[in-house]
Amino acid sequence: MAQKEQSKLHLYNSLSRNKELFEPIKPPFVGLYVCGPTVYGDPHLGHARAAITFDIVYRYLKHLGYKVRYVRNITDVGHLENEEAEQGEDKIAKKARLQEIEPMEVVQTYTIKYHEGMDALNCIRPSIEPTASGHIIEQIELIEKILENGFAYEVNGSVYFDLMKYRESNDYGTLSGKVLEDLQVGSRGTEGMEEKKSPYDFALWKKANPEHIMRWRSPWSVGFPGWHLECTTMSTKYLGEKFDIHGGGLDLQFPHHEAEIAQCRGAHGHDPVNYWMHNNMVTIDGSKMSKSAGNFINLEELFGGDHVKLDKAYDPMVVRFLMLQSHYRSKIDFSNEALAAAEKGYQKLMNAVDTLNKMDPPKNGTDGKIDNEILDACNRCHSAMNDDFNTALVLAALFDLSSKVNALHNGQINKSELSISAFTSLSKTMNEFVFDVMGLKAHTKSDDSKTDELVQLLIEIRAEAREKKDFATSDKIRDDLLEIGIRLKDDKSGNTTYEFNAS
């Protein structure tokens, strides 16, 4: 399939640790699977980083003309408190016990909150969003295949993946770079450890204790599936036994994604996916985000400004913009300073797009003195995305285009210096990349119409003051509005406009 741009998409494959040319298995179709949230708490910045990362991947693949099936799971069973030692309560069941409600009430509450948070960040919802509890039958069938192929064993109603047997014919740890012998998990006295042939084996199915309320019948016991099993089951069910891209947070490389590879090889005899992608983590003021450190910020707090670490509320688009300023494989640090800077940058970009869209094309633009500069910045948008989805470089190119737009608007560049074809490329590139690829939206104020009415009223009062030569009042209105982030702009004809959050 011919792509729209001359350069071709390359992405960093976590498995090979190299950038590779993207070649889908069955073009123009692309299968994308991303590990979604475990829905037992409010959505937070970590959820947002992953969702935005793969929203960008999804958007750009579609921009290139691919037909993408995007699958992102909802984990609603099997994720225990101590993931590595495979012990403790199910995270959702524990939340239900503490709140004295049904586990599926917990699931419903936090799934809705997750969707609301990601919608606010303008993340397109996936094509399919399957749940672990909705695929118990398929998970049981996958376990049966792994057992049949000799890579699992049953003991006392639980089924474990036999890593020692698996390693006789397969590598383990290639994705994460972990050496198995250095990964002794828990102590040998932990729950269920005495059942395992090796402490490295992981559960495919766990027999439920009497107090465990999330349980299903299986050929081995009344119990529940292991956490790792759901993604292998649902990705291959909806995308095929071999698909194109599997994504998730860097923290999932081990043990979750290593287990997925082992399970797929154990059941089907081959790797599940051609390209593994992992987004890096989020820090707050340079420290790892955690509730114990007091720097854990959920999205509701961020959008409402209701957190000790925040000076004010931040628009979801400012949060998205800040994340886009860093490459997805780099860590990103949130702070008031970073958010405030992102707020200004975001509004400058949106103001430039708004100015461009109100601008008439050049009538006699044939000189083309600045065509090359415009076209070079347009091409850099495409080449940056084709270089492993480098949104930071895309934004840099978009700001170069913005400076040209402002120069044209202010008369620093004469429109005759820009050809009609270059102006068309400028308009098309800025609108497509800002809105369709980067997924940004215009500033969402609490009540746009009322805000506009109030500012217009102040502009009229200021105009009357200027007519009366009351420049003290006129200047005070201008300066006070600037203090709260609204900048008045007077043109040569005497008309006044305004923009938000400009420096």
3-state SS of 296-340 is CCEHHHHHHCCCCCCCCCCCHHHHHHHHHCCCCCCCEEECHHHHH
Q: Cα angle at 193 between 191 and 199, to 5 degrees?
A: 145
Cβ–Cβ < 8 Å for 275, 13: yes
The alpha carbon torsion through 365, 368, 370, 372 (nearest 10 deg) reads: 130
Cβ–Cβ < 8 Å for 359, 440: no
Question: 343: part of which helix (H) or strand (E)?
Answer: helix 336-357
Instruction: Give, for all 503 residues of the chain, the pLDDT tens digit.
Output: 334 444 799 999 999 999 999 999 999 999 999 999 999 899 999 999 999 999 999 999 999 999 999 999 999 885 665 555 555 678 888 888 888 888 899 999 999 999 999 999 999 999 999 999 999 999 999 999 999 999 999 999 999 999 999 999 999 999 999 877 655 443 333 455 678 999 899 999 999 988 888 899 999 999 999 989 999 999 999 999 999 999 999 999 999 999 999 999 999 999 999 999 999 999 998 888 876 667 788 999 999 998 888 899 999 999 999 999 999 999 999 999 999 999 999 999 999 999 999 999 888 666 678 899 999 999 999 999 999 999 999 999 999 999 999 999 998 988 888 899 999 999 999 999 999 999 999 865 544 556 777 888 898 899 888 888 888 998 888 888 887 778 888 866 677 877 775 44
Query: Looking at residue 86, what is its pLDDT?
Result: 56
**E strand intervals along 97-256:** 152-155, 158-161, 202-207, 216-217, 222-225, 243-249
Q: Cis omega (within 30 of 0) on the bond before 225?
A: no
Q: Which candidate, 201, 224, 200, 202, places its Cα nearest to that of 211? A: 224
Question: 131: part of which helix (H) or strand (E)?
Answer: none
Q: What is the residue type of 136?
A: I
Query: Looking at residue 501, what is its pLDDT?
Result: 56
- DSSP-derived 3-state class of residue 219: coil
User: What pTM does this model have?
Assistant: 0.86
Query: Looking at residue 3, what is its pLDDT?
Result: 40
Query: Looking at residue 230, what is its pLDDT?
Result: 95
Residue 6, phi-psi category: left (phi > 0), alpha (psi -120 to 50), beta (remainder) = alpha
Encode 163-175: b = buried (16+ Cβ within 10 Å), e = exposed.
Answer: bebbeeebebbeb
Number of H helices, E strands in the chain: 15, 18
Number of neighbouring beta carbons within 10 Å of residue 177: 10
With a CB cutoff of 8 Å and minimum separation 6, the contacts of 389 are: 11, 53, 56, 57, 60, 327, 328
